[in-house]
Structure 1
């Protein structure tokens, strides 16, 4: 079977590795970029996805430049602790949680694809523009000519051309009115040295976590993200102007365990994005065509589930194709498993996932508090955390066993 994957991001590359592990050799990743370079900033991979990376034999390479996340902690803008919990192996999971640079994860996956499927398996400079499906086959329309395949996997991200061809007239992504600034800065580690901290409330937030361990100078590479309501992008175009705008919003926050102004001031670049997702689709399937990752279920960047769910999609798709008995049945079973699962995560993220605790803290105690027990019971905070872990499929109990997608590692 000849398989085309639109998009060489994390989901598409994971799918290629999983398909190889399931015995497929005629797999082709069609990537729009002229070359794959380690672009982007930080992300987190939950234990549910790290389990799949282990099964594919790439987790050791990833761990070599990742931070093994120890803690997730939520604070008010005054620096008062609302809730903290251990993460990954520190919480009793069999597999860790990783914080790392998106581009380095993508490069690890691309290197593994090239080693197992050949250097020609990733065709760069070949954007997928759409497709035509007929008689159980698909013609993939690309910027450099058509490509014939038995299966097309749309892993081409938020602005997916495959999704647009499958669901014409859907329109663009849905914005929630929040705009985010993102940057990375070399700075001293904070809290445990491997903590992810989320500060603020539903008016503005500041998220920070290390994506490279401390070096010989004692500084780690800290990924930070801010969010604030806005009608559109900032008019600030220069780096200096963007720093001033961020500092005007967050410079007076009281955080005793780190220096937020210095963190912003030390960034070499600041990127700006709207917070968007898309409403869940009724189907991901059109004959021999399916979707995965952000092309299928883009979600708000809360809860560390964007890349996590894309990795799981890739493994699930390969597993269902392996089980057969034919492509049509496999795609129906894949959609039946993954569409409702990711719809639940999308909905939970629209409610701000586990970050709800700081939104509720501000709503209930806008003047602050001396004791968090006067605002929440411990049981309520635990329940918010447990509910999200259950919805997103990363409870300790669920992940105690080996991967359910038993097509094995590299062959």
Structure 2
């Protein structure tokens, strides 16, 4: 009997990566249960991008129509200066030849979509909320996971065939596996993010703009329902370990930010086709946090325990690749576990082997892109070189992705086509 018919794969974390892993395992005929610390999973956060290699995997999980209804198919990235002069334009998604689009979408709405589909397909109890992971122990036939029931203030134990740590930037599973890592790595940049309702679209209505004056940068793109997601990035220190003395706030997507601090860096900006001050001032709420990542690990897990998504390879948002890489992790994980049959540790080892170097390349490419920014953002030739370097290091080549076989097991069939 297959090990994974005896006990489910336990997934710590109901974020985009963890929920995609549950859907992918189910499609491969493997039971899964998601353990989430939050008592209530709400559509929090701001906008994000799904690149074609991530979109392909969600379409093959049967979510193509849902994504098209929720997101905006990004047509181009437009780089300009603080006066709105276009410096470099890069076509995206189907515009550059991929069989699948790039989508700009609200992170919380995508998470809610995945949550709904997990509960529909795996059952209403497939995602258990309010359970904070405390510890885990391996035994010859599985993993025993101890959690704290936050509502009852009691401990509970789950038995699983494997444990997947998809519990984000501050992963408990990663801390247990790698207890001596130290602080997060900080780029030296602070970020302010928000979402603003705008009745009039800018440029094509499907354009992402990246504007810079050589010191401060602004990223803005539509995410559907007349909403524009924006990000302000400003360097305030040299790269190094994130201070632990309170001088810099901890990385938290939901820390409230101050409008005046963000606006002060954009005096004199006049893009013409986009009013930057109005964009920022009309946001309902502003989030603020440092841009951080971690040095790539030489191994993620051991035996029946591994990591996925931000828990495995936190990366800078440069390149907008974090969610897509987590989705790829989830799909490869299910693919390798299905291939391994009874040998769960071998399946997890094959997953790690397939994804470890690939994701490390994305982390390093994001760092290189961020550190090459600044004055280079105003140089047409340098912009083209930076984007070409990132594409080769971190994005799937068009022909390569279009030709790659599906990660969906043949017996499971496909839910969607390009």
Q: Is TM more than 0.5 here?
A: yes
Q: Which aligned pairs between 1:17-96 and structure 2 lie closer than 5 A?
A: 17-25=23-31, 27-96=32-101
8 Å Cα contact 1:76/1:358 also seen in 2: no
Structure 2 residue 17 is the aligned partner of structure 1 residue 11: yes
CA deviation profile, 1:92-123 (whole Å, cap 9, x unmatched): 21000000100110111111100110010000
CA deviation profile, 1:60-91 (whole Å, cap 9, x unmatched): 11221111101111112232322111110111
Distance in 2 separating the partners of 1:76 and 1:199: 5
Distance in 2 separating the partners of 1:108 and 1:138: 29
**Aligned position for 1:224:** 230
SS in 1 for 2:87: strand
Q: 1:205 aligns with which of 196, 214, 217?
A: 217
**Aligned position for 1:367:** none
Distance in 2 separating the partners of 1:228 and 1:342: 26
**Aligned position for 1:132:** 137
8 Å Cα contact 1:82/1:358 also seen in 2: no
Q: 1:289 aligns with which of 275, 282, 305?
A: 305
SS in 1 for 2:125: helix
Structure 2 residue 191 is the aligned partner of structure 1 residue 175: no
Q: Which aligned pairs between 1:187-336 and structure 2 lie closer than 5 A?
A: 187=198, 188-200=200-212, 203-213=215-225, 220-230=226-236, 232=247, 242-325=258-341, 326-336=343-353
Q: Which aligned pairs between 1:140-151 and structure 2 lie closer than 5 A?
A: 140-144=145-149, 145-151=156-162
8 Å Cα contact 2:47/2:106 also seen in 1: yes
**Aligned position for 1:216:** none
Distance in 2 separating the partners of 1:77 and 1:268: 24
8 Å Cα contact 1:132/1:139 also seen in 2: yes
Distance in 2 separating the partners of 1:31 and 1:252: 45
Distance in 2 separating the partners of 1:403 and 1:382: 30
Please report the TM-score for the alignment, with normalisation by the length of structure 2: 0.87
**Aligned position for 2:168:** 157
SS in 2 for 1:279: coil
TM-fit CA distance, 1:410: 6.1
Aligned residues: 385
Distance in 1 separating the partners of 2:404 and 2:235: 42
CA deviation profile, 1:243-281 (whole Å, cap 9, x unmatched): 222221113113121100111110110111111001111
**Aligned position for 1:349:** 366
8 Å Cα contact 1:136/1:288 also seen in 2: no
TM-fit CA distance, 1:357: 6.4
TM-fit CA distance, 1:390: 2.5
Unaligned runs of 5+ in 2: 150-155, 238-246, 250-254
TM-fit CA distance, 1:134: 2.7
CA deviation profile, 1:205-227 (whole Å, cap 9, x unmatched): 111001114xxxxxx20000101
Please report the TM-score for the alignment, with normalisation by the length of structure 1: 0.89
SS in 2 for 1:271: strand
RMSD across aligned C-alpha pairs, in angstroms? Answer: 2.2
8 Å Cα contact 2:190/2:289 also seen in 1: yes
Unaligned runs of 5+ in 1: 214-219, 365-371
**Aligned position for 2:243:** none
